[in-house]
């Protein structure tokens, strides 16, 4: 797990090594163990290293193979690299290191972009082909590892985070009005390739990009998620799906234990993280640490789920760490958490993951987390209304969107008013072939777009801020493809995730399954009051923070009734505005 960066010039000039070094050093929290840069004519590559898979210097990056004419920087982990290495050795390739990086480099030489479907893991990488003078970039299926790009007439730059790209300089800070529409409507999700900055984009998940030294681009989506059972699965009932799911989960958890000595689990006390603990114990992991976080109660809402996380920790005799955070520390740490964000995120649990990762990093380098289960197995409240819906788009929008379009127009100043871009995006996505059931349409959107640019990005940003590698078994592509084949009627009952809960009953205590659904709560940011509300008011009313984005009347309306201005997802509209201002400020924009 690392941070990568680079530049490719189109104007026959040498790459700007100083800019690449600035970008690379900004990524130091992602890779605190080592760093390196390499320049070759129009291209320069940078890398920050977190040593996990292979501790030897031979796996250092940028990795240069002069014999093959390839230079590589790679962020991520390939869990099936031993099997791929065996195939490559059978083809005559010789290896000088023992980790996954060289397997990726030689695999690309052997198979080109056809390597990508062979990979099981999380990755974003760049390979410079010396003889063909072209750069190849790629991102994993579910976008677990990020890759940001900025392009001008003269050059392309890339990095693992947007703030790192800013450190390289030469980027206009102008906002993208379409992205702003997404941010304020689609629960802060800005689908790739857009970001809030008009001059910065992100490579979409499951996509490769090839750019030559003249600036010509070729881009391809190399994987897609289709819904519906295979012919041999059409007769499956709940028992068959449950057993298939449990087998796939076991394989996903086990393969993610490769090269992980000190194992941790982010234990919320819900089904997903509790199931990971049970499966790790089942796989024979002995030195298992678990970590839970809690906050002060607010607005009549409990700030922790310790009763359930404690139950699992006791049941499996884990080395359990319980962290409780008060309101003062939330306010103190929010700026640092927002500095760590590549894009502004409004989910209250960002600060939870940031502070929890700080604690976990003191004990281990690798942690497993349960992200993805709700999006794959219909765990959220907006899925049941879509069952049989005659207008899936309208049903989804009513349950998920933070504002109507009219409310959006009343929130922003005239410069930012425009079409209903977020609504049009969802409508177009729902119309694509490959998902006919209305619930499947929503699951596909959430799994391939919302999940990538909310929960997955949140975990990557917050864990990597502390040099912590998070592995997400539910995002194993084989498990994701299996989940898409399971009909929604096996997911929706029992408050959602029915088939997953039935699989979990084979592993963990029923007490954490038959419980009300919980979230990773930070009530103080949801029910803005007291010192937190004062802090938000000061942030929004400070003249030096006024960027001409929001209508003053809309801000006044929100401040006059902060408790009554919640979105359909029970989030704070007021917090959305404050979060955007805070992120822009912390990035120096």
Cite the active site residues: 2
The H or E element spanning position 202 is strand 201-202
Instruction: Look at the block and give the residue holding tokens 């290293």.
Output: 49
* Cβ-proximal residues to 480 (8 Å cutoff; 6+ apart), any chain: 141, 142, 225, 372, 376, 447, 474
Question: Rounded distance, CA 443 to CA 439, Å?
Answer: 6
The H or E element spanning position 195 is none
Backbone angles phi, psi at 117, to 5 degrees: -65, -15
| Residue in 374, 333, 335, 328 with CA at minimum distance from that of residue 357 | 333
| Residue in 122, 241, 156 with CA at minimum distance from that of residue 487 | 241
Question: Rounded distance, CA 342 to CA 161, Å?
Answer: 5
Question: Rounded distance, CA 187 to CA 382, Å?
Answer: 13
369 is in an annotated binding site: yes
Going by DSSP bridges, is the β-strand pair 148-151/121-129 parallel, antiparallel, or unpaired?
unpaired
Q: Is 356 left (phi over 0), alpha (psi -120 to 50) or beta?
A: alpha
Going by DSSP bridges, is the β-strand pair 121-129/34-40 parallel, antiparallel, or unpaired?
unpaired
266 is in an annotated binding site: yes
- Give alpha helix (H) positions in 226-317: 238-255, 271-282, 306-315
Q: 550: which strand partners?
A: 412
Q: 3: which strand partners?
A: 48
Q: Are 211 and 134 in contact (CB under 8 A)?
A: yes
Structure tokens at 475: 């995002």
Task: List the binding residues.
Answer: 100, 266, 293, 369-370
Task: List the binding residues for L-glutamine.
Answer: 100
């Amino acid at each position: 797990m690392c941070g990568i960066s680079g530049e490719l010039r189109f104007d026959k000039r040498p790459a700007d090594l100083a800019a690449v070094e600035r970008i690379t050093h900004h990524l130091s929290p992602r890779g605190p163990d080592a760093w390196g840069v390499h320049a070759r004519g129009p291209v320069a590559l940078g890398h920050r290293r977190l040593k996990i898979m292979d501790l030897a210097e031979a796996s250092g990056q940028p990795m240069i193979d002069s014999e093959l004419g390839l230079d590589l920087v790679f962020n991520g982990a390939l869990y099936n690299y031993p099997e791929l290495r065996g195939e490559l050795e059978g083809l005559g390739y010789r290896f000088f290191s023992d980790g996954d990086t060289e397997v990726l480099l030689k695999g690309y030489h052997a198979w080109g972009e056809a390597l990508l479907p062979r990979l099981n893991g999380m990755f974003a990488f760049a390979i410079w082909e010396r003889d063909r003078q072209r750069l190849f970039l790629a991102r994993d299926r579910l976008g677990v590892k990020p890759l940001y790009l900025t392009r001008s007439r003269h050059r392309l730059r890339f990095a693992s985070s947007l703030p790192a790209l800013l450190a390289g300089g030469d980027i206009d800070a102008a906002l993208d009005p379409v992205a702003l529409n997404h941010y304020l409507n689609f629960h802060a999700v800005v689908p790739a390739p857009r970001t809030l900055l008009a001059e910065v984009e992100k490579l979409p998940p499951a996509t490769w990009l090839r750019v030559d030294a003249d600036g010509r681009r070729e881009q391809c989506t190399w994987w897609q998620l289709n819904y519906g059972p295979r012919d041999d699965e059409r007769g499956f009932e709940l028992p068959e799906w449950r057993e298939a799911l449990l087998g796939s989960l076991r394989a996903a958890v086990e393969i993610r234990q490769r090269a992980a000595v000190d194992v941790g689990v982010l234990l919320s006390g819900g089904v997903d993280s509790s199931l990971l603990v049970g499966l790790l114990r089942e796989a024979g992991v002995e030195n298992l640490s678990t970590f839970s976080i809690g906050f002060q109660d607010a607005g009549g809402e409990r700030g922790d789920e310790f009763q359930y996380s404690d139950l699992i920790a006791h049941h499996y005799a884990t080395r359990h760490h319980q962290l409780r955070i008060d309101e003062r520390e939330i306010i103190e740490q929010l700026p640092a958490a927002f500095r760590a964000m590549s894009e502004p995120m409004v989910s209250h649990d960002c600060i939870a993951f940031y502070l929890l990762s700080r604690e976990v990093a003191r004990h281990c380098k690798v942690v497993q987390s349960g992200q993805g289960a709700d999006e794959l197995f219909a765990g959220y409240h907006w899925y049941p209304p879509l069952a049989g819906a005659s207008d899936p788009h309208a049903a989804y929008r009513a349950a998920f969107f933070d504002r109507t379009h009219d409310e959006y127009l009343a929130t922003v100043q005239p410069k930012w008013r425009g079409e209903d871009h977020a609504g049009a995006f969802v409508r177009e996505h729902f119309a694509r072939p490959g998902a006919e059931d209305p619930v499947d349409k929503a699951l596909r959107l959430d799994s391939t777009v919302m999940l990538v640019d909310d929960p997955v990005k949140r975990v990557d940003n917050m864990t990597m801020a502390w040099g912590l590698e998070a592995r997400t078994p539910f995002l194993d592509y084989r498990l994701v493809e299996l989940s898409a084949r399971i009909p929604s009627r096996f997911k929706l009952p029992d408050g959602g995730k029915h088939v997953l809960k039935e699989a979990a009953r084979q592993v963990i205590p029923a007490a954490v399954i038959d419980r009300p659904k919980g979230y990773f709560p930070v009530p103080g940011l949801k029910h803005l009051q007291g010192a937190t509300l004062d802090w938000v008011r000061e942030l929004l009313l400070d003249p030096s923070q006024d960027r001409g984005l929001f209508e003053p009347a809309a801000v006044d309306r929100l401040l006059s009734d902060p408790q009554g201005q919640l979105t359909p997802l029970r989030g704070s509209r007021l917090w959305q505005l404050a979060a955007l201002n805070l992120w822009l400020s912390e990035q120096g924009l």
